Structure formats: C-alpha cells, structure tokens
Amino acid sequence: MTDTTLPPGDAAGDRIEPVDIQQEMQRSYIDYAMSVIVGRALPEVRDGLKPVHRRVLYAMYDSGFRPDRSHAKSARSVAETMGNYHPHGDASIYDTLVRMAQPWSLRYPLVDGQGNFGSPGNDPPAAMRYCVTGDALVRLPLGQTVRIRDVAPAKPNSDAVVDVKVLDRHGNPVSADRLFHSGEHQTYTVTTTEGFEVTGTGNHPLLCLVDVGGVPTLLWKLIDEINCGDRVALQRIPATEIGCADWEDTLTGLLLGAFISEGFVSENRAGFNNLDRDYFNNVVAAYDAVVGGPRYLSERRIASDSTLLELDVHNLAALASSPLAELRGHRSAAKSVPDRIWNATAPVKRAFLQALFEGDGSCSALPRNTIQVSYSTRSDRLAKDVQQLLLEFGVVARRYLHATGEHKVVITNRGHAEAFASQIGFGGAKQQKLLAILRDLPEVAAGLDSDSVPGLAAFIRAHSGGRWIDKEWLRKHNIDRLSRWQRSGTEILEHIADPDVRAIASELTDGRF
C-alpha cells in the first residue's frame, strides 16, 4: 500500500510518496522490459526491421558497400557498426548480419552473403574470422594480462566456451564467453612510430583516429586497410587496484626484476650485484623470503672507486623450486618478462618494474628543460615487454635500437616522466634523482610535446561557434596537446559554444588513448 504525505510547502515538487520497494522494483522492471521489447526486439511494422538491422545497413552504406562493389569481410561491417552505431558485443551484430543474408530468415534478403551462412537445418554459419596471433596480450580487470592462447586450451578450427572478464576499448570489464581458434592464416604486423606492435590477420580491426569530413573520429579499420601515416589508438588506462597485494607475490616481482636486470642464473651458479646498498639489501631480503637456502654476500672496490655489492649462490637446490628457476640458462639477448609477471596484479608488476629500472634504467636532465627516463637491454623481446608494461600504467615510451646494439625504451615526454615517477618509479636511490630533476623543471613547459590529438585544434576552431572573443582565444592558444587539456581542460571548454564539439573534444582528450 502506498501512503501520500504532503510536507510543508505548496510547490508540486514537495510531494513525497513512500512506495513499497517490492512494488517499485516490479513496476520498474516491467517498464524496462517493455522499453526493450518495443524499442529493440519488435520489428518496425512499416518495414519489419529492428534498430540493429538499420544500424548494420547504415554502417554498410556509410562504408561504401554497394551492389556493384566486390564482397567484403563480415568483420569490417561488424567493426563499423559496433564502433559507430551499436556499442554492444560483436556477436549480436554478426548474428544480425548473418540473418539478413539468409533467404529463409527474411522474405527479402538484404545482404548478399558469400561463404557459409548456415542452412535451414540449423547448421550454424561460419564464425567471423578475424584474429591475432597466440602471443597477443589480453588485459583483465584487476591488472592481470594473459596471452590469448592461454585463455583456454583450443585446437585449430575450433571454439571453446570460456567465462572470463576482459577490458573493452573504454577500459570497462565485459564478459567473454567464447574463444575461437581459426587455424593458420596469413598475418601482418602493424608497427607504430613509438615501436608498439600488433600482429593479426588482414581483416582484424584496429581502432584508429580518422579524419571524417574534418572531424577527428575514432573508427575501426582493418589491418589490410591501414597505411603509413594512419594513427592507431592505444589504450593507456591504468589498471584498477583493489586492496593490498600479497607480500610474497610482491617480493617475487621485485626479485625477478632484479635478477633479469642485474643478475644471472646459469646451470651451476646464480648471482646478483648492485652499487646501491639499500636496494641491494632489499633484494637479499626478498631472496631469503622467496627462495631461501645458502647464499654468500661480498663486496669489492671497482675501477670507478665505487663499492660493488654481490650476492652469490652456488647451491641451486632451493632456487630450482623457486620462481627464479624459469630464468635458468637465459642469455642476455633472450630475456623477457616472465608469464608469472604478466598474470600478476598491478602492484606486483610495479615492484617488478621498479627493480628492473633500478638495475639497468637511468634518468637524466637534458638541455632546454627536458628529461629522459630510459631502460637498456640486449633483448629485443624484453624491450617490447617493458614498453607494454609501462603502457599498462598509462606511461607511453618509445623503443628503438641504439648504435651500440642495445635496445632502448625511453620516456622523453615530461608528462609521462611524471606519470612514471608517481605510478612506478625506481626501486632505489635513482628515484630521488628523478624527483629532483622533475622539481627543477619549470612549472609549465615552454615547448610543445608530442602527446597530442592530431586535427583536434583545427576542428574546434572551425566549428566551436560562440562569440568572436572565444574564437580568437581558441585561435591563439594551443588546444590539441593532452598536457594542456589535463591542466586547463575546463578553461578550454568554456570557450567552445557548440555542445557537439565539446562532447567530441572531451572524448578525445580524456586520457584513455
């Protein structure tokens, strides 16, 4: 039963109606169910199409698919629909596309299908075949990363039922219920100017920043459509951290980072050395807690007149059953980030990177008030892995091959150096040096950094609307650099009158890509 109470006041908004929660939930659920049925599930009486049908057809029309054109991959239409008009799972969009190509599903098929689109006898259509290689990384909600081949055991040309949460392009957790193994196909590798790589089939979609009639827009493009000069969007949302990390896992991350950077594990011996006494003591404590067993400590003066601290292990019995065992026999050029670290949470990855950079990393102040944080290794694979791990913390680094034969991972953008210092940092004395360099930099950088949204400034200035004084302000100020948006985003938006332009600018500068 519902009571109506009229509190003091004559305004209509002063009415308060206490409602039984069960009754309200029933009514709200019925309203929602009816809105879904009427707005999505029921075909339009005029043409028999549901909203998802229209979205697929419009995306195909917008992509230039016509009766006089050649056939195109289903994945392309699905990607365009999902990215622009129907932000739901690709499976439902593909099922809709399939039904529009089946003559027994619609009186008049709207799509000319080429290939296996099923049969009236309930034979399923072929799965939408776009894929990446098995070593491609998939991000999970709490900071873990897993290689796609390890999500579930699968044989070529088969599918496996899975129940796993992954991150979508916005960084939100979504459910994945099936893993397809499409067998062997021709693959292509896309490499960005920073050195990031992705390898997949030609019809695998990648999110790109595209100029659509002067409007910078995030659209899906297939790998075989990507050309030199195209801009691929990379997600750089830091992982969600909940609660405290397990102390043993964190010490394991520190120990692995230290030994990969400044240590070795051979068939008969293992060792680690460093100049920083506090950092060295932390590594020894982690070794005793995680590995245990006999070890020897020593120190000696080296040519630079510094004291080199050394940890030596001659009896590898305890080490053989510890996490360090997977490093056994690895040469410098063959090192990589262990799967144990990829599968760990963000705090463990942070401890690993701190130890790694404290060993073979460095930071330095450069001319013109600039800064560089770098990591050097002989292993191309390790450099790629470190670059990807940094990206998981929102830090964008550049990778290149130095003239000395070393692979370098460098951070030269001030904003990313600050993010490195706050999100990760060094594991020892180098952290204090980095913080001192950052403190000595001017509060506002005088130069322009490379972290920008191409075409955004021209788009805003052309379509901002509003007063002349606002347009003049936008013309005189730099409004395409992400550092400026992070610092003065509200001020910039105050000079943009058009709400659509404000929405587009806000989406492209929120730091997700």
Backbone φ and ψ of 93, nearest 5°? -70, -40
| 184-192 CB contacts, 8 Å cutoff, 24+ apart | 184/156, 185/129, 185/131, 187/133, 188/223, 188/224, 190/223, 190/226, 190/232, 192/232, 192/234
The residues that bridge with 407 in the sheet, in sequence order, are 377, 401
User: Other C-beta atoms within 10 Å of 384: how many?
Assistant: 18
Report the candidate in 264, 256, 318 with the shortest Cα–Cα distance to residue 283.
256
Q: How far apart are CA 476 and CA 454, in angstroms?
A: 17
Q: Are 154 and 105 in contact (CB under 8 A)?
A: no
Q: How far apart are CA 382 and CA 336, in angstroms?
A: 4
- Helix, strand or coil for residue 369? coil
Say which DSSP state 171 is in. Answer: S
- The question of whether 130 is a catalytic residue gets the answer yes
CA-to-CA dists, residue 59 to 53, 65, 93, 94, angstroms: 10, 9, 11, 13
CA-to-CA dists, residue 411 to 245, 254, 327, 382, 456, angstroms: 27, 22, 27, 16, 24
Q: What share of the chain is helix, strand, coil (3-state, %, to 5)?
A: 40, 20, 40
Q: Are 312 and 272 in contact (CB under 8 A)?
A: no
Tokens 């997700």 correspond to 512
Tokens 């590798």 correspond to 189
User: Other C-beta atoms within 10 Å of 397: how many?
Assistant: 26
- Helix, strand or coil for residue 408? strand
DSSP-derived pairing of the beta strands 270-274 and 307-313: antiparallel
Say which DSSP state 37 is in. Answer: I
143 sits in the region (left: phi over 0; alpha: psi -120 to 50; else beta) called left
Q: Is 133 exposed, middle or buried (0-12, 13-18, 19+ CB in 10 A)?
A: middle
- Helix, strand or coil for residue 449? coil
DSSP-derived pairing of the beta strands 270-274 and 263-265: antiparallel
Catalytic one of 85, 108, 130, 188:
130
- Which sequence positions are flagged as catalytic? 130
